[in-house]
Amino acid sequence: YITVQFDTTDAGRTLSPLLQQGIFNLWLGDGYKIIHLTGSMTLEDIGYYLSKASYHVGVDSGMLHMAQLYLPFNKLRIYNNGYVSHHLIRAVNNGAKLNTPFYGLDRLDNL
């Protein structure tokens, strides 16, 4: 399975529900189950799910930082709509994959 987290309070990091569904469909189509990390989960539960996940997929957010504690950078897939933070730059420089909404949605191996 993969873990995902796309909710953010920053409009600069928000992806549309349609784009999110397209991303989900790519991963589901490749046979992955999806576990949504939510604010109602405990940090212990989130840590457990991250530690067993094949990948973490999401936006530049707190869960991305937490995922870095449990997964190697090459197992992180970050989506953004143009806003680039120093956190995102550091993650990509360390091996995380970055996909904008305009690229990488046609083939799962681009993820």
Strand order in the sheet with 76-79: 34-36, 2-5, 55-58, 76-79, 97-99
E strand or H helix at 104, and its extent?
A: none
pLDDT tens for each residue of 24-42: 998 999 999 999 999 899 9
pLDDT tens for each residue of 6-19: 988 787 788 888 88
Task: Give residue 45's region: left, alpha or beta (phi > 0; psi -120 to 50).
Answer: alpha
Give the residue, 85 or 4, on which the prediction is more confident.
4
- Give the predicted TM-score (pTM) of the model: 0.85
Tell me what pLDDT residue 69 has: 96
pLDDT tens for each residue of 64-110: 999 999 999 999 999 887 777 888 888 989 999 988 654 444 444 44
Cβ–Cβ < 8 Å for 1, 33: yes
* Orientation angle between helical segments 62-70 and 86-93, nearest 10 degrees: 30
